[in-house]
Amino acid sequence: AGQVQLLETAKLRLEMSLEQVRKENKKELSQRDEELEEVRCNAHKKVKALECQLENEHEERTLLLRERHEMERRLAEYEERNHSKNHSDQEMLHRLKRDLKRTKALLRDAQTTIEQSRTDTPNKALIRQLRNQLEDAECARAMAVKARQAAEGEHTEALATLEDATRARTEAEERASALMRERSQLQSQLDENEEELADVLKKYRATVQQLSNEQMSLQEQASRVAELESERATLREQLAELSTRVESMETLNDPNSSLAVKRLQLKTKELDSKLELEQTTRSRLEVQITRLK
């Protein structure tokens, strides 16, 4: 009876220990689920932030491309207009040079005529006419010089505007290139985060599966231990009963009773060995589960 009580106590302790292990495993799984959910939420937020940043970069790049196209269109129009204007300025300069050359020729003729008139008989009307022609020629020459200077100023201004437009286009291209590099870096970082999250999920699922398998093995071992303990208790009761009967029959020298007692003793020892093996296996599984935590 004392042995049976000890076995029942050991069984109760085993059941309590198993229940404690179940509670701890359940708590550990719950904590792991919370940690995984937190990691997943953080990764999701990070991915969303990166996606928003990529979208903003894409919109800014699109705007820059539009500005660049508009700048190129305006630059092309300006170059075409400047080319036409330069052509007109060249024609004007050519015409002014021709007029200036003709004016100089008239001036020389007028001076020659004046010199001749001084040596010949004075003719006031002719001199007045020549002077008027000379003044007209000087006025035309001054206008031609002003027009030439104005054309040169417009040409210089056009060159400066062209340089500004070219510089603005270069800056827009550099900003677009920088945005493309930043977008590529963000995409690489996003891919790395996705791979890291997938690896964490894979390891977590493998750990949960291994822990579940170990728990099932521990439950099977506990059930097996309980069965062996029950069988051993039954055999011990039978052994005690036979021992009592043997003691009462020793005076009769019955060999069958002694043989039955020996068989029960051997079977009891065999069950003790099995029980010890199962308990050792259970202890090893508990250690493995503890390591998995």
Q: Residue 11, class by beta-carbon neighbours within 10 Å (0-12 exposed, 13-18 middle, 19+ buried)?
A: middle
**CB atoms inside a 10 Å sphere around CB 185:** 10
Take residue 129 and report the two structure tokens written for it. 């006419």
Tens-digit pLDDT profile for residues 97-131 = 676 677 666 666 656 665 655 554 455 565 566 56
Tens-digit pLDDT profile for residues 15-24 = 677 677 778 7
pLDDT of residue 121: 47
Tens-digit pLDDT profile for residues 21-57 = 778 777 877 777 777 777 777 767 776 777 777 777 7
Tens-digit pLDDT profile for residues 255-274 = 565 676 677 667 767 766 77
pLDDT of residue 60: 73
Burial profile 268-283: b = 16 or more Cβ within 10 angstroms, e = fewer: beebeebbeebbebbe
pTM over 0.85: no
